[in-house]
């Protein structure tokens, strides 16, 4: 085994790490903007409102992320509406397709977390707040949000880790993220073990930093 490859190419790996980080972070952020309204709609009693949110979540949670990425990256060209218009400018870019697929995917999973938190919201706390004469806004800020955030955090930290792991497939569609960097290094030196071992180490650092950060945050929430 020859780990000098990893030392020679560390800048390339670091560039890959940066791509993974911004791709995942941006997907998670944009995914939240989808997840909050979808999760709220999904909690509605009315099937006309609940239905579309349910179908969106059902599709994106029931199919592999790889298929969703291929559907967007390879499948988009099949439609003249995309292929012949300004949209193609974006859909021909691998990073855009990956960002879109990851955002929709994490949006669906996070919406499920939000739905779960809403459906298990303790009613008595809301009633107590109302009895104290708090306004709707005060109840949301003082009771609903802190309570649901605390209960959603463990599930959401899992979602972030799943997203970091899932983002490895971006390397398949020509993006030079950590996996992409490892693939290029492997092609250059034909040293698959060393190349992918380096990638595994970087992913491990990333995952464990996230786990550590969330542990800290959760402990702060629970002690207060």
Nearer to another protein, 95 or 194 (CB): 194
Q: Which of residues 68-107 bind another protein (CB under 8 A)?
A: 68, 70-71, 74-79
Q: Output 95 or 109, the one with its CB closest to another protein.
A: 109
Dihedral (CA of 35, 40, 43, 47) sign: negative
Phi and psi at residue 133, to the nearest 5°: 85, 25
Q: Is 155 in the site for another protein (CB under 8 A)?
A: no
Distant-in-sequence, close-in-space partners of 218: CB < 8 Å, separation ≥ 6: 153, 154, 157
Phi, psi of 101 (to 5 degrees): -65, -45
Residue whose CB is less far from another protein, 126 or 210: 210
Residues 156-215 that bind another protein (CB under 8 A): 161, 164-169, 171-172, 178-179, 182, 186, 191-193, 196-197, 199-200, 203-204, 207-208, 211
Local structure of residue 133 (DSSP, 8 states):
T
DSSP 132: T
With a CB cutoff of 8 Å and minimum separation 6, the contacts of 142 are 129, 134
Site of interaction with another protein (CB under 8 A): 58-59, 62-68, 70-71, 74-79, 161, 164-169, 171-172, 178-179, 182, 186, 191-193, 196-197, 199-200, 203-204, 207-208, 211
């Amino acid at each position: 085994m020859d780990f000098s490859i990893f030392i020679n190419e560390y800048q390339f790996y670091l560039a890959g790490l940066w791509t993974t980080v911004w791709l995942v972070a941006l997907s998670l952020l944009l995914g939240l903007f989808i997840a909050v309204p979808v999760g709220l709609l999904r909690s509605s009693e009315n099937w006309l409102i609940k239905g579309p949110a349910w179908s969106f979540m059902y599709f994106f949670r029931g199919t592999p992320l790889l298929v969703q990425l291929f559907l967007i990256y390879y499948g988009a060209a099949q439609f003249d509406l995309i292929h012949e218009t300004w949209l193609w400018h974006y859909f021909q870019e691998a990073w855009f397709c990956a960002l879109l697929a990851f955002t929709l995917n994490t949006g669906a999973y996070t919406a499920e977390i939000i739905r779960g938190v809403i459906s298990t919201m303790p009613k008595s706390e809301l009633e107590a707040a109302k009895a104290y004469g708090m306004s709707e806004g005060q109840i949301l800020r003082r009771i609903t949000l802190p309570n649901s955030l605390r209960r959603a955090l463990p599930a959401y930290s899992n979602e972030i880790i799943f997203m970091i792991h899932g983002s490895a497939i971006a390397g398949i569609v020509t993006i030079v993220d950590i996996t992409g960097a490892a693939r290029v290094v492997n092609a250059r030196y034909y040293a698959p073990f060393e190349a992918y071992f380096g990638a595994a180490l970087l992913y491990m650092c990333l995952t464990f930093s996230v786990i550590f950060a969330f542990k800290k945050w959760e402990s702060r929430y629970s002690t207060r």
